[in-house]
Chains A and B, each alone.
Chain A
C-alpha cells in the first residue's frame, strides 16, 4: 500500500467496487481503533466487566508476540520454535529483576527487552550456522533448554511453580491497573506494528523477503544472507521480549510452561490463519482465535487444545494463504495500487570506463567431484562489451564453470579474474565487483509487485539505514523516491514499465524472465550472466529476450549466456564456447561453431552403422 497516503483521491472518489471495498475496510479499521480507545470511558454506562479489558490486553500481547514470529518466519522465512522461549526470557528477566533484585518495574521491563534481544541474537548466530533444514530443529532445542533452565532454576526462577508477585509498573505513585495496562499495551503494540510496517516496506524489509524466496538470488543481488537473517531474528526477539515483559507485569506471574511448545501453537495458528508476511495478519488471526478460545474455555475447556490442533491443520489445508492472503486473491481484494511518487529516471546504465579487455577471464580451471573430473583445464575469455555464448550437451560442465565464476564453488586449480581483479569468493560479493547472475528457474518474489521486485535489485544502491527505515527519518522518503525512479527506469528498459504495480505472481514466464533482468540491472552490473534464459519461453518471448540482450550490449554491458537453445545463442552471440564432457571443444564465432563437425558429433552422436 505504498504511497496511498499521498493519494487521497481514491479514498474520496473510489473508482470501482474493489476500491470501495478497500475504503470500507479502512473505515472499519479506523472505527475499531477508535472504539478500542474510548471503550474504557463507557465502562460504567455499558456495564462492561473489567475482564473484557483484561482479555483485550492479554490478546494484544499475543498479537505482539505473533507479529514478532511473523517478522522472522513470515517475512524472512526462518522457522522459529523458540519464540515462546524468548517471550519467557522477557517475562522471567523482568520478574527476576523486579522481585529478586528489586529494580524498578519499568526499568526491569526495559532491561528484559534488551536481554531478550541478546538471547535472540545469540540463538540465531548459533542456529544460522547449521544447514537450513536444521535451523528450526536447533531453535526447538534452544526452547527446550530455556524451559529446562526455568524449571530447574531453583529460587531464582521459582522452578516448577514459577515466579510470583511481580509488581506492576507505577504511574504517578499508583499501580498501572487494568485500564492502565489496557492503554499501555494497545499503544505499544500499535507502535510496534507501525514500526514493523515501516521496516518491511523499506530496503531492509525487501531484503528479508528476498531471502525468504531464495538465498541464492538474494546473495546474487548483494544481500548478505547471514547478517540479514541475524538482524531479522534479533529484531523479532526484541519484540518477543517486550511481549513477555508486558505479560509478566500484567499477570503478576510466569511459569515455565509459558515458554514451552504448547504455548507456541497459538502463535503458528495466528501467523498462518492471519496470513504470513502481512502486518495486519497476526491481528486478524489472533483476534479470531482468541475469541474462539474464550468461548471454548467457557463451553468446553477440555477440548481447547484439541480443537486448536484441528483448526491449525484445517487452516493449513483450506486457507494456505491466510485470511489476508485469500482476501487479496479474491476479486474484491485484488487491486493494483496507483503508482507512487518517484524521481524521473536518470541515466539508466553507465557505460563502464574500461571499453576493451576481458570482462571475465578464467584460466586452466579444474574441478573434481569425488573421482569425476567435471572440468578439465577449461579456459574462458569473455571480452568486454560482447555477448558470449556457452553451450554444450548435458553434463558438459557449463553450470559448474559458472558456479565457480560467481563464487558458489571454488575451483581445484586455475584462476578467475573479473575485470582484472580476482573473482569473488562468496556469491554475495559478486555484485560489488560488477557481476550479477540470473538463475535458470525464475526466483521472482511472488509476494511483491513488479516495481518492488525491481527495487530489490537496488539493494546496494540504496542508502537507507535501519533506523531511518523504521522511524521514517527525512532521508528515507527521498531515497525511496530515487530508488523507485531507478527501478522504473530499469522496467522501462526491459519493456515492463506498464506492469509496474501488478503483482509479480501474475506475470507470464517470459515476463518473469524480463523482470529478473530488470532486477539484476539494479546492481549496475558490467557483466550479466544468464543461466538458460530461454527455457520455457514461447517463440515471441525468445525474440523479445534476444532484442533486450542486444540493447544491453549497446549500453556497454557484457553478457554471458549459458544455453541449450542453440539457435537463440547463435543469433545474439559474438563468440561462442562449446564445452563437452568437461573440456573445451571449440571456441569462436557462431558461424564457425555451426559449421564444425566436432560440435555436430558432440550433439548428434557419431552416425556409425548400428549392426546387430
Chain B
C-alpha cells in the first residue's frame, strides 16, 4: 500500500526530554489523516520533524518511499510537503500578498504560474482578496489562519501538514477552516496530515485517525472507529467512570 507519507519508529528529544518515543504512522494518498492527543503528547513535534525543522534521534520519515529524514526545511518544501505551523506565524510586517508570494518562493521564477496560484488562493479565501495590501499583523485570527493555509498552498504542495488550525478560533471559524480543508482534499486531491487537540470537529472530516499519548501512538484506525472508541476519552481524561453520553 503506497503511503504518501510515513513515519517509522520516530524518536525525537528536546535536550533530555523524550517527546516522541517511537511513533509509527502513515498517511495514504489523497486522504485526510488526523492525529489527536493531549498537549505534550508530541503532536507538534511530529509535524516539525517531518517538515525538516527538527532532527529525530532515531527513526525515519519517508515520502512516497523516499527517505527524507534529516532533510532541511527548504528541501522538504521543494519536495512538495508544506507545513502550516501552530500559531499561524505569518510575517506581520509584510502584506497579505507578500506573505502569499513568499509562500510561493520555490516557484518564484514561474511568474505566470505564481499569478495563477495567487488567484486560486484568493478564489478559495475570498476574504483575503479584500485585504491583499494590508499588513498581515492586522488580520483577525481566522483571517490569519486562512492566510497561513493559503501561503502553504502557494508552494503547490501535494501534501499539506496542518498544526492545530483551530487554536484560538471561534467555533464558527473552526467549522469554516475544516470545510476548506475538506474541499482542498476532495477538489484538489491534496493529502492532509492534520494535528488537533479539539478533536471532535476534526474527526468529521478525517478518513483515518491516530491517538498520541506520551510520545507514542496508542490507537489507530478509521475516523469512525476511533471516534467511537471510549479509550480516546480515557487518554484525554483518565479513567472514564462517569462518561456523560456518547457524543461527549
Flag whether B183 is at the interface (Cβ < 8 A).
Answer: yes
Q: Is the CB of B174 within 8 A of A605?
A: yes
Stretch with Cβ within 8 A of A (4 or more), from B15-23, B57-65, B77-85, B151-159:
B15-23
| CB-defined contacts of A441 to chain B, threshold 8 Å | 15, 17
Flag whether A597 is at the interface (Cβ < 8 A).
Answer: yes
Shortest distance from the beta carbon of B79 to any chain A beta carbon, whole Å: 30
Closest to B177 in A: A610
Flag whether B40 is at the interface (Cβ < 8 A).
Answer: yes
| CB-defined contacts of A535 to chain B, threshold 8 Å | 17, 40
Contact with A along B223-248 (1 / 0, CB 8 A): 00000000001111111111111011
Q: Is the CB of B241 within 8 A of A512?
A: no
Interface of A is mostly: loop
Q: Which of B184-225 contact A (CB under 8 A)?
A: 196-205, 214
Q: Is the CB of A608 within 8 A of B15?
A: no
Query: Known: A594-B240, A597-B244, A610-B204. Contact between A536 and B179, CB under 8 A?
Result: no
Shortest distance from the beta carbon of A495 to any chain B beta carbon, whole Å: 18
Contact with A along B135-159 (1 / 0, CB 8 A): 0000000000000000000000000
Flag whether A197 is at the interface (Cβ < 8 A).
Answer: no
* CA distance in complex: A152, B18 (Å): 58
Contact of B201 among A393, A537, A610 (CB under 8 A): A610
Contact with B along A380-408 (1 / 0, CB 8 A): 00000000000001110000000000000
Stretch with Cβ within 8 A of A (4 or more), from B66-74, B114-122, B165-173:
B165-173
Contact of A606 among B16, B17, B200, B242 (CB under 8 A): B200
Q: Is the CB of A394 within 8 A of B197?
A: yes
Shortest distance from the beta carbon of A503 to any chain B beta carbon, whole Å: 13
* CA distance in complex: A406, B39 (Å): 24
Contact with B along A576-612 (1 / 0, CB 8 A): 0000000000000011001111011101111111111
| CB-defined contacts of B204 to chain A, threshold 8 Å | 607, 609-610
Q: Is the CB of B18 within 8 A of A610?
A: no
Query: Known: A566-B236, A612-B182. Contact between A603 and B197, CB under 8 A?
Result: yes
The interface on chain A, measured as residues whose beta carbon lies within 8 A of the other chain's beta carbons, has a size of 43
Closest to A506 in B: B16
Q: Is the CB of B199 within 8 A of A605?
A: yes
Q: Is the CB of A564 within 8 A of B38?
A: yes
Query: Known: A512-B16, A532-B40, A607-B248. Contact between A591 and B237, CB under 8 A?
Result: no
* CA distance in complex: A355, B63 (Å): 60
Closest to B179 in A: A612
Q: Is the CB of B183 within 8 A of A594?
A: no
Interface residue tally of chain B, by bracket?
35 or more
| CB-defined contacts of B18 to chain A, threshold 8 Å | 509, 536, 538
Q: Is the CB of B168 within 8 A of A395?
A: yes
* CA distance in complex: A190, B16 (Å): 39
* CA distance in complex: A603, B166 (Å): 11
Closest to B200 in A: A607
Flag whether A223 is at the interface (Cβ < 8 A).
Answer: no
Shortest distance from the beta carbon of A394 to any chain B beta carbon, whole Å: 6
Q: Is the CB of B175 within 8 A of A610?
A: yes
| CB-defined contacts of A509 to chain B, threshold 8 Å | 15-18
* CA distance in complex: A568, B38 (Å): 12
Flag whether B14 is at the interface (Cβ < 8 A).
Answer: yes
| CB-defined contacts of A605 to chain B, threshold 8 Å | 166, 171, 174, 196, 198-202
Q: Is the CB of A611 within 8 A of B248?
A: no
Flag whether A534 is at the interface (Cβ < 8 A).
Answer: yes
Contact of B16 among A442, A571, A611 (CB under 8 A): A442
Flag whether B105 is at the interface (Cβ < 8 A).
Answer: no
* CA distance in complex: A565, B40 (Å): 7
Closest to A395 in B: B168
Q: Is the CB of B40 within 8 A of A534?
A: yes
Q: Is the CB of B214 within 8 A of A595?
A: no
Flag whether A231 is at the interface (Cβ < 8 A).
Answer: no
Q: Is the CB of A394 within 8 A of B39?
A: yes
Q: Please list the residues of chain A having a beta carbon within 8 angstroms of any beta carbon in chain B.
A: 393-395, 441-442, 507-509, 512, 532, 534-539, 542, 564-568, 570-571, 590-591, 594-597, 599-601, 603-612
20 contacts between A and B (CB under 8 A): A393-B197, A394-B164, A442-B15, A536-B16, A538-B214, A542-B214, A564-B38, A570-B238, A594-B237, A594-B239, A594-B242, A597-B245, A597-B248, A603-B198, A604-B198, A604-B236, A607-B201, A608-B171, A610-B178, A611-B175
Apart from A605-B171, A606-B201, A612-B182, list 14 A-B contacts with CB within 8 A.
A393-B39, A394-B39, A442-B16, A535-B40, A565-B40, A566-B38, A571-B238, A595-B242, A596-B244, A597-B244, A597-B248, A604-B236, A606-B200, A610-B205
Q: Which 9 A-B pairs have the closest CB atoms?
A: A536-B17, A605-B198, A567-B238, A607-B200, A564-B39, A595-B242, A570-B238, A509-B16, A604-B200
